[in-house]
Amino acid sequence: MVMVTGCAILLRRSLSYLHRESLLFRQLFDDISSTYTYLIADLRSKDAALIDPVLEKVDRDLQVLKDLRLNLKYVMNTHLHADHVTGSYLLKKSVRGCQSIISESSGAKADIHINDGDTIQIGPHLALRVLATPGHTDGCVSYVQDQLGCVFTGDAVLIRGCGRTDFQQGCPERLYESVHSKIFTLPDSYLIYPAHDYKGLTCSSVEEEKSCNPRLTKSKEEFVEIMKNLKLAYPKQIDRALPLNLVCGYQD
C-alpha cells in the first residue's frame, strides 16, 4: 500500500501493459511535461489510436507502432494542451491515412471534431465513448473504454487532484459538475488514467477518487474556494504550445 494525502492507494491491477482478449493497451510517459500518452489497439484488425501524444516523443511512438505492427488510425487529444505541443501533426504526416480528433468546443483544428455522446470506432472490436468534461478548459473530453473498464480523463481528474481552472476559459464550477455527473457516475471499478502525474503514480479508480480526492470530495463551494486560491505558476510552455495546438501541432 502507498499513502497519498492520507488515503491508501491499493497497488492492484494496472493496465499499463496489457493484452486482453483482442485488445492491446500501453501507457507511455514524457518525463519533461509529465504527460501520459496512451496507445490502444484492436489486435485483430491492427487498428490503433494514440491519446494525448507529445511532439518530442513521436519517434518513440512510431517505433512502438512499428514493433507491434499496428496501423495508427487516429491521434486523439483530450483537450487543448498548454504544457506541451501535441505530436498529432507529425504523427499524421508520418502515417498515411491517420486522422486527428479533438472536441468541437476546443476551437482547435482537426480532421474529426467530436461531441458528448459520440462513439469513436477504432477497430471492429474497439470503441471509445466520448464524455464532455469541461472545466479545466471549455473543450475537455474524457474517453471511456468499457471492455477494459477504464476512462482516460485528460486533466479533468488527476490522481488525487484535478486540472487547474485559472486560464483557457477554465471554470471550477463546471469542472466540479463535469466530474461528479460524468466520471463519478461510472462504475466504481473503472480505472482512471489521467493526462499527467507528477508523483510517479500511474492510475487510480472511480471508487478511489470519489473517496480520497482531496479536492473533489469537498462540496462544490469548498472546491471552488480551493481552486481560486491555488496560486499556480504560469505554464512554462503555454505561449508556444497553445498557438501550435490550435492547428493540431502544425509547424513549417
DSSP 184-211: TTS-TT-EEEESB-SSS---EEHHHHHH
Return the pLDDT at 168: 85
CB 241 within 8 A of CB 83: yes
Q: Find, among 147, 148, 124, 130, the residue nearest to 46 by Cα.
A: 124
* Alpha-carbon Rg for the chain in angstroms: 17
Antiparallel, parallel or unpaired: β 119-123 and 126-132: antiparallel
pLDDT computed for residue 28 by the predictor:
98
Enumerate residues 6+ apart whose C-beta is below 8 A from 105. Answer: 115, 132, 134, 138, 139
Specify the 3-state DSSP secondary structure of 180: helix
Please give the Cα distance from 43 to 34 (Å, whole number).
28
Q: What are the mean pLDDT values of the chain's consecutive 10-residue runs (252 residues total)?
A: 40 46 93 97 98 98 98 98 97 98 98 99 98 97 98 98 94 99 99 96 98 98 97 91 96 78
pLDDT of residue 252: 72
Nearest to 166 by CA among 196, 132, 137, 134: 137
- Residue 170 neighbours by CB under 8 Å, 6+ apart: 135, 136, 137, 163, 164
| Coil, strand or helix at 139 | coil
